[in-house]
Amino acid sequence: MRIPFRPLLILIVILFLPGISENIFCSSPNSELKSGIQDTMLARQLLYNGRVWRNTTSKIEGDPYFLSREFLNGSVTISGRSFENNYLLYDIYSDEVLILSDKRSIINLNKELISGFTLDFNNQVYRFIRLKTDSLSEVDGFVNELYGGKSAVYVKYRKMIQIKAVDNIYDAFYQIYRVYIMKDGLPHQVKNRKQLLYLFQDEKQKIQDYLRSNRVKLSEKHPESFVPVAEFYDSLKK
């Protein structure tokens, strides 16, 4: 069968003019590939934005980390973008997040860019957010969010250094934590029933009735015990 002259001429032009055939037949896959590579590079730059970690506490007994000195699986949100399945350590002495990079180096992440992160430990997920408060507040930085409503419940973990705690020679880490509930836009420390009722004094009687009828026992040793009361208080304000 004879091919008409004009279509044949057009086909020849397409196949042999420099750059035309490449643009027609290959531009879309190449563009997608280049876009994917660039996106991956930008993501890595964003994720590993920080400084190389240096161990400055090796001579202190114990470790400065939350839950474990081993890297834990978790996610981190940086500049609004979430990165899943990373190996993280939370240094609660310096309130810094460390990540094991894909090059097996340890990076101290730029905390100013982190809005939150999670850690998986013993089948439990711990969720942290970066709390930004004014200079008058006693709590700032990363807090474990137990309840995220208006009257949010947070736990702030810290490790401190006790001087010459071991054999009166070596310094040692010890851990403390405090429970906070948000009220009027500020975090307030609570330790017991009395302090909680004072914080929620505008609904004190209803809170007392709730505690009594539900047999709720509040204790700083069990920070999660404050969550149902905070949720109940928020329900009264709807």
User: What per-residue confidence (pLDDT) applies to 3?
Assistant: 41
Query: How many angstroms separate the first and last alpha carbons of the chain?
Result: 80
Work out the pLDDT band at 132, boundaries 50, 70, 90.
confident
* pTM of the shown model: 0.80
User: What per-residue confidence (pLDDT) applies to 185?
Assistant: 87
* CB contact at 8 A, 50 and 107: yes
d(CA 99, CA 90): 9
* CB contact at 8 A, 193 and 113: no
d(CA 47, CA 39): 12
Span 159-178, pLDDT tens digits: 999 998 888 888 999 999 99
* CB contact at 8 A, 128 and 116: yes
Task: Please tell me the total number of residues recorded for the chain in this structure.
Answer: 238
* CB contact at 8 A, 65 and 129: no
Span 51-101, pLDDT tens digits: 999 998 988 999 999 999 999 999 999 999 999 999 999 999 999 999 998
User: What per-residue confidence (pLDDT) applies to 1?
Assistant: 44
Span 5-46, pLDDT tens digits: 444 444 433 344 444 333 333 334 455 555 555 567 788 888
Q: What is the mean pLDDT of the chain?
A: 85
Residue type, 130: R
User: What per-residue confidence (pLDDT) applies to 4?
Assistant: 46
Structure tokens at 196: 């909680």
* CB contact at 8 A, 151 and 183: yes
Q: Please determine, for residue 210, whether its predicted confidence score (pLDDT) is greater than 80.
A: yes
Q: Please determine, for residue 127, whether its predicted confidence score (pLDDT) is greater than 80.
A: yes
**Between 49 and 156, where is the model more confident?**
156
| Mean pLDDT (whole number) for 149-154 | 97
**Between 199 and 134, where is the model more confident?**
199
Residue corresponding to tokens 């419940």: 153
SS (H, E, C) 41-92: HHHHHHHCCEEECCCCCCCCECCCECCCCCCEEEEEEECCEEEEEEEEEEEC
Residue corresponding to tokens 């400055």: 56
User: What per-residue confidence (pLDDT) applies to 105?
Assistant: 92
Using a pLDDT cut of 90, give the percent of the chain over it: 66
Would you say the C-alpha torsion 104, 110, 113, 115 has a positive or negative sign? positive
- Strands of 50-52's sheet in order across: 50-52, 106-109, 96-100, 81-91, 72-78, 114-121, 124-131, 141-147, 153-166, 170-183, 186-189
| Mean pLDDT (whole number) for 194-215 | 96
User: What per-residue confidence (pLDDT) applies to 167?
Assistant: 83
CB-side exposure of 140: number of CA atoms within 13 Å? 10
